[in-house]
């Protein structure tokens, strides 16, 4: 059984398409018999994806730091909820529990998780697939940043092969099922 780590947001996006992406991804993960691994929150797209997977009978594992659990943002209805001392330990445990990483639109925390897992792959700490879901062009600015980084010789062009950029849930699922 695959353990799919999804990095997503702690806020609800304005775009219904992005809300639907989180919900539909959660449903698909459960329907495929995979396990959702995520940040453990009940708020934002984190809560949406977890609830969608749970509603379809899926297994959902959350990992949340103590300070966020105390702030009452932990999802208490999960299959398993790990509590960590800090954000660094949270990210390490998310990586350890997961077979693949899917990044959907989110904020600073989502980008932090993406860049850390990408850097770890670049350094050879793991070799797991990373999928960036650029729904509605949300990450266009980020992909432009990568192109500029290559142009300025800060990033090797070959490093773009460390992750996949897809435009839809369907493309993401094709990779996950592959």
Q: How far apart are the first and last CA of the chain?
A: 14
- Whole-number pLDDT of residue 1: 72
Angstrom distances, CA of residue 44 to CA of 72, 119, 159: 13, 26, 31
**Interatomic CA distance for residues 13 and 45, integer angstroms:** 8
Q: What is the pLDDT of residue 75?
A: 96
For position 70, what pLDDT does the model report? 78
Give the Å distances, CA to CA, from 162 to 19, 32, 127: 27, 25, 9
Domain boundaries, given as residue ranges, for the chain: 3-177
Report the pLDDT value the prediction gives residue 85, as an integer from 0 to 100: 97
Distance between CA atoms of residues 111 and 83, nearest Å: 21
For position 32, what pLDDT does the model report?
98
Cα 27 to Cα 23: distance, rounded to the nearest angstrom: 6
Tell me, yes or no, if the pTM score tops 0.75. Answer: yes
Q: What is the mean pLDDT of each run of 10 residues along the chain (178 residues)?
A: 95 97 99 98 97 98 93 91 97 98 98 98 97 98 98 97 98 96
In the DSSP assignment, the letter for residue 35 is E
Q: Cα 10 to chain center, whole Å?
A: 12
CATH number of 3-177: 3.40.50.450
């Amino acid at each position: 059984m695959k353990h799919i780590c999804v990095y997503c947001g702690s806020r609800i996006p304005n775009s219904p398409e992005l809300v639907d992406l989180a919900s539909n991804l959660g449903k698909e993960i459960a329907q495929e018999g995979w396990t959702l691994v995520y940040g453990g929150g009940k708020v934002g797209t984190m809560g949406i994806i977890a609830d969608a997977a749970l509603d379809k009978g899926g297994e959902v594992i959350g990992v949340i730091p103590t300070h966020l659990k105390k702030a009452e943002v932990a999802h208490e209805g999960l299959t398993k909820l790990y509590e960590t001392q800090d954000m660094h330990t949270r990210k390490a445990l998310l990586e350890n529990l997961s077979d693949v990483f899917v990044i959907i639109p989110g904020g600073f925390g989502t980008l932090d998780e993406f860049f850390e897992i990408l850097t770890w792959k670049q350094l050879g700490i793991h070799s797991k697939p990373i999928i960036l879901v650029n729904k509605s062009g949300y990450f266009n600015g980020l992909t432009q940043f990568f192109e500029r980084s290559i142009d300025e010789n800060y990033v090797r062009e070959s490093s773009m092969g460390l992750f996949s950029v897809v435009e839809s849930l369907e493309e993401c699922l094709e990779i996950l099922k592959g």
